[in-house]
Amino acid sequence: MASLLSHPAGPLSILFGSGLKLHRNLILICVLLSLLPDADVIAFSFGIPYESQWGHRGFSHSIVFALITGLICSFCFKENKKSVFILATLSTLSHPLFDMLTNGGLGVALWWPFDTGRYFFPWRPVEVSPIGIGNFIGMRGVQVLFSEFLILWLPLMSLSFLTKRLRQ
Ligand SMILES: [Zn+2]
């Protein structure tokens, strides 16, 4: 996984770049949705293997899962349902796309349930974040955060600022 500190870079750059006036609850939900797929680490507690479709980076890292979360969120808001659906889906989907840039672990089951194979992008420059806070503290965490800043935060926020500037 990319670290929990960097997954919000996806929704925050989309939301900022969109220039939409959004309710702060929706912003918070989008940030939480960018973290949601990694709730699947609970599968380890139930003895579900990493490589299972129900394990870490399995079904919760798929496009179908992102579409379902987008749909559920759109039902929870009374207005702008289409925008909520799109923002919530993209926020959730940004998570597996970031994971596909990491250089460790198994790939993500992006095409679940149609294909349970695990996939990465051909270019994987982001240092994989270790699972568990204890493994993250120290030089390993600094390396992960530095690579995430260079590969995720910097380009995405620059693009977001540029998009907003061009719109004005
Ligand atoms: Zn993940």
Cβ atoms of residues 147 and 126 within 8 Å: yes
Q: What is the mean pLDDT of residues 43-54?
A: 94
Q: Given this model, what pLDDT does residue 38 score?
A: 94
Is 135 among the domain residues?
yes
Q: Is the pLDDT of residue 1 over 70?
A: no
Residue 2 domain flag: no
Report the separation in Å between the CA atom of 85 and the middle of ligand 1, taken as the mean of its atom positions. Answer: 21
Task: Report the percent of the chain where pLDDT is more than 70.
Answer: 98
State mean pLDDT over 13-33: 88
What's the pTM? 0.90
SS3 41: helix
Most confident of 12-21, 56-65, 138-147: 56-65
Ligand 1 centroid–CA 61 distance in Å is 7
Token pair of 139 as six digits: 């030089």
- Does some domain include residue 38? yes
List residues bridging with 102 in a β-sheet: 126
| Residue 43 within a domain | yes
| Average pLDDT over every residue of 58-64 | 98
Span from the CA of 137 to the centroid of ligand 1 (angstroms):
19
Cα(74) to centroid(ligand 1), Å: 23
User: What domain range is 34 assigned to?
Assistant: 9-167
What does the pLDDT average to over 24-46? Answer: 93
Alpha carbon of residue 41 to chain centroid? 14
**Digit-coded pLDDT (tens) for 99-115:** 999 998 899 999 999 99
Rounded Cα–Cα distance for residues 148 and 168 (Å): 29
Distance from residue 23's CA to the centre of ligand 1 (Å): 26
pLDDT at 64: 98
- What separation in Å is there between the alpha carbon of 2 and the centre of ligand 1? 7
For the chain, the average pLDDT equals 91
- Whether residue 3 is contained in a domain is answered as no
Give me ligand 1 centre to Cα 150, in Å: 19
- Evaluate whether residue 92 is within a structural domain: yes
Q: How far is it between the farthest Cα atoms of the chain?
A: 52
Residues within 5 Å of ion ligand 1, judged at the Cβ atom: 1, 37-38, 99
Distances in Å between the Cα of 18 and the Cα atoms of 35, 65, 159 are 21, 23, 11
Domain count, the chain: 1
CA angle 128, 108, 142 (to 5 degrees): 10
Stretch 45-72: mean pLDDT: 96
Q: With respect to residue 4, please indicate whether it lies within any of the assigned structural domains.
A: no
**Which of 57-61, 138-142, 158-162: highest mean pLDDT?**
57-61
- Examine residue 1 and state whether it is found in any structural domain, yes or no: no
pLDDT at 138: 80
Looking at residue 50, its pLDDT comes to 94
**pLDDT number for residue 90:** 96
Does 75 have pLDDT greater than 90?
yes
